[in-house]
Structure 1
Amino acid sequence: MRVALWLLALFGVAVAAALFAGNNQGTVTLFWPPYRIDLSLNMVLLLLVGAFALLHAALRGSAALLELPLRAQRWRRQQRERAMHGALLDALAQLLAGRFLRARRAAQSAITQQESLADAAGKVPHCLHLRTLAHVVAAEASHALQDSARREAHLQAALDGIPANGQDGLAELREGVQLRAARWALDERDAAAALERLAALPSGAARRTLALRVRLKAARLARHIPEALETARLLAKHNAFSPAAAASLLRGLLLELLDTAHDPAQLDRLWQGLEGSERRIPDVAVHAAQRLARLGGDPSQVRAWLLPVWEDMVSGGREALGGPRGLRLILTLQDNLEGLDAAWLGRIESAQRAHPQDPRLQYLAAMACVHRGLWGKAQQQLAQAAPRLGEAALKARAWKELARLAEQRGDAQAAAQAWKEAALAAP
């Protein structure tokens, strides 16, 4: 359609020109004494058009001739820019391929090309970004080659070239360089240097997932357990790990944190500082209770820390109580039954009645009766539970307690038989 319109317009112009020129009788007379020149108007118009075209062509040619040095300079600068980009791309490719020496040489070549363009740095797009990336690639290659001196030199050059409050992506570039430096320090197991690099990051960048991962590793390496625990909580909230991995990581850090306590008061402060969900983790609660017992804590406080876990396990049924966590809970409770109150005795007996086929609960109920002075009931429960217990430690303990009860009654024969069974069951 557009071509047809152009053809129609061209024919219209041709017809108009033919009508104007065909019947044009005008003349133009030039007087140049003693001469007189008569020219038709059509000829004058053609001469004017030709003169204009000739003058325009002459001016364009002169401008192109005068522009040749500038164009040559621009061409040379473009060639250096292309060489710089090519060297940087080659450095990245060599780094990914594991050719670290070649990567460092290519990065150094890119830096040299950039320095040759320093006189026109303002006209080269992203010149500072490219120079910084070249230094980072060279530093990464030097780190892989264990050349710490050259790595630090390239790192410092990369940081010096970026203003602290840069715009147009320079701030993100500086943060990325600092994160890489922190990871290099972490690879060398220099936790202090890694934490120092992370501390230099802005608050927003320091809460990114990558920065938090590095901080977690550095804090664990430096044995800063509270900081590592707080970082792990943030990572878990950001879904940086799978639920199983996050639970395992938090559990391990919580156990390490509890092990740092050296007296019951310090352990109590650490315990109260944990979140409610963390205090209900079976492994954490049992470990804290065992730690408190070893530090000479009050058995009633030990039982108070175990109460939420006990309720969860009892409501979980035989599967929860029958596993290794249930065994640890029962072993911890049996060692901390001193001063047992009626409320705890009722809880244990209720759990035993709810699961009458569980010999562990029957054994624990018997031990609770012993501490409450209910000798007859304890002897009956132990006599039923001892032959069915599968764990050697519980079985030996049950027979020993039966032997003591028999000695209290004055039944020497039953006591001797119980001591014999305890010796056979001892691990």
Structure 2
Amino acid sequence: MRFVFWIVGLFALAVLIGLASTLNTGYAILFVPPYRMEVSFNLLIIAVVVLVLVAYAVLRLLGLAANLPQEVRTFQRQKKLRAARHALREAAISMFEGRYQRAEREALKSIDDEYADENRALALMIAARSAASVGDNAKRDGYLSRLESMPERIQLARHMVEAQIRMDAKQPLEALAAIERARAISSNLTSALRLELKIRMLLKQPEQVLQITEKLLKADALEAEQARRYRLAAYRQQLVGLGSEREVRDWLKRIPGVEKQNPDLVVDISRHLIALDTYPLAAELIATALSDEEQATPELARELGMLAEHIDSQRRLTLMRDAENWLKSRPRDHMLLLALGRLALAEQLWGKAQSYLEASVSMQPTLCAHAELSKLFATLGKDDKAAQHQALALKIALQQGC
């Protein structure tokens, strides 16, 4: 339809021009001494219009010819820029594919022909990460140093990439320095806090681990179970540095009650106290843990049995009464039966010791239970039974060792 309108319009214009030319009968005189020329006024108008159009076309061609070198340079620049952007995309894809050498090669192609600082910084970070992945530390450090001259808005990404690279290279101090620079730019960046948490744990800085864990937990950036594992690891690191019973007691006061109920932590604390020859406190902690059905574990019962020979008679008898009550709700706990047998053996209650130890063996034969029975029968002068349980203990030991 548009084409029809154009045809109609052109014919109408031609008709109007034709009518106008018939109405205009004047003429123009061109006088250039010694020549004189008379021409139709209509022809003069057409000639002027044609002259203007020709002049415009000539000037346009001259302008294009003058700008041709610049146009060629712009075209070449755009061609190189497209190639650089393509290389940057290929570098990113190759890095995620694990093809680090190709990623570094493609990233280097895009750096020289790229004018945007963000893209150049991205290419350098890809190159640095790729060089680090293949173990070329010299190139890695060179790429990271080139990022220092980039604009400020690039520096946060640079520090985070450097921190991860240093962490992967087992350089926790350098990684921590990079994280601190990133935290100076964005103090509440959760990804930086997560990485710092791992670094602090690696550097055995439990106080900082606990602080960062709480920050991440408040920011909903850490699951409750993950936070509990980090706390447990931090408490274990703190426990190693405690050298006396008083220090352990003061430390226990600072631990939240929920964390004190962790059976794994209780086992670690009791073993540390045993190493410090602080047996009564260890027995107290284990007994408190075993009294809780949800907290009681076979490992705790095993540790209780190990304390039998190191505590006084009154405490042994108290623990035996408590353990017999716990046994009512856990009658098939072979470790609890073993602990009762050891307590009775230490109190020289031979009959009780034998019944508890034999019950433990009937539930699950263990090296410790057979060894204790062998010791008991040897004390009672029953050498045949002692030898029998000694042989069973040796058999289990060989099976576990092989």
C-alpha displacement at 1:68, in angstroms?
1.8
Residue 282 of structure 2: aligned partner = 302
C-alpha displacement at 1:46, in angstroms?
4.2
Alignment map for 1:355-374 (pairs within 5 Å): 355-356=330-331, 358=333, 360-361=335-336
Partner-residue secondary structure (3-state), 1:30: strand
Alignment map for 1:206-355 (pairs within 5 Å): 211-212=192-193, 214-228=195-209, 238=221, 251=232, 254-297=235-278, 299=280, 301-306=281-286, 309-312=289-292, 314-315=293-294, 324-325=298-299, 327-331=301-305, 334=308, 338=312, 340=315, 347-355=322-330
- 1:99–1:337: structure 2 CA closer, same or farther, 3 Å change rule? closer
Please list the CA deviations of residues 13-53 of structure 1 after superposition, one character each: whole Å capped at 9, or x if unmatched: 63365256337523343355796846365x56544543443
Q: TM-score, normalised by structure 2?
A: 0.69
Contact 1:362 1:381 (8 Å CA) reproduced: no
One-letter amino acid of the counterpart of residue 305, structure 2: L
Alignment map for 1:13-412 (pairs within 5 Å): 14-15=11-12, 17-18=14-15, 21-22=18-19, 24-32=22-30, 37=38, 39=40, 43=43, 46-47=46-47, 49-82=49-82, 84-85=84-85, 100=101, 110-111=110-111, 113-114=112-113, 125-126=115-116, 128-140=117-129, 142-143=131-132, 146-159=135-148, 161-163=149-151, 165-166=152-153, 170=154, 174-202=155-183, 211-212=192-193, 214-228=195-209, 238=221, 251=232, 254-297=235-278, 299=280, 301-306=281-286, 309-312=289-292, 314-315=293-294, 324-325=298-299, 327-331=301-305, 334=308, 338=312, 340=315, 347-356=322-331, 358=333, 360-361=335-336, 381-390=352-361, 391-394=366-369, 397=372
Residue 8 of structure 1: aligned partner = 5
Identity score, percent = 18
One-letter amino acid of the counterpart of residue 142, structure 2: A
Contact 1:289 1:332 (8 Å CA) reproduced: no
Please list the CA deviations of residues 274-324 of structure 1 after superposition, one character each: whole Å capped at 9, or x if unmatched: 44443322221121122123324362x435533563244x358xxx75xx4
Contact 2:290 2:301 (8 Å CA) reproduced: no
C-alpha displacement at 1:5, in angstroms?
4.4
C-alpha displacement at 1:358, in angstroms?
4.9
Partner-residue secondary structure (3-state), 1:350: helix
Residue correspondences, number: 379
Partner-residue secondary structure (3-state), 1:27: coil
Residue 380 of structure 2: aligned partner = 416
Taking only aligned residues, the RMSD between alpha carbons, in angstroms, comes to 4.8
Aligned partners of 1:145 and 1:290: how far apart in 2? Answer: 43
Tell me whether 137-146 or 259-268 shows the greater mean CA deviation. 137-146
Gaps of 5+ in 1: 115-123, 404-414
C-alpha displacement at 1:384, in angstroms?
3.0
Aligned partners of 1:94 and 1:399: how far apart in 2? Answer: 66
C-alpha displacement at 1:151, in angstroms?
3.3
- 1:16–1:176: structure 2 CA closer, same or farther, 3 Å change rule? closer
Residue 412 of structure 1: aligned partner = none
Aligned partners of 2:310 and 2:49: how far apart in 1? Answer: 114
One-letter amino acid of the counterpart of residue 158, structure 1: L
- 1:66–1:401: structure 2 CA closer, same or farther, 3 Å change rule? same
- 1:396–1:36: structure 2 CA closer, same or farther, 3 Å change rule? closer
Please list the CA deviations of residues 168-210 of structure 1 after superposition, one character each: whole Å capped at 9, or x if unmatched: xx2xxx3333233334433443322222222211257676565
- 1:348–1:204: structure 2 CA closer, same or farther, 3 Å change rule? farther
Please list the CA deviations of residues 373-392 of structure 1 after superposition, one character each: whole Å capped at 9, or x if unmatched: 9x9xx666435323222244
Gaps of 5+ in 2: 394-402
Please list the CA deviations of residues 30-88 of structure 1 after superposition, one character each: whole Å capped at 9, or x if unmatched: 355796846365x5654454344334323322322232232133234334435655665
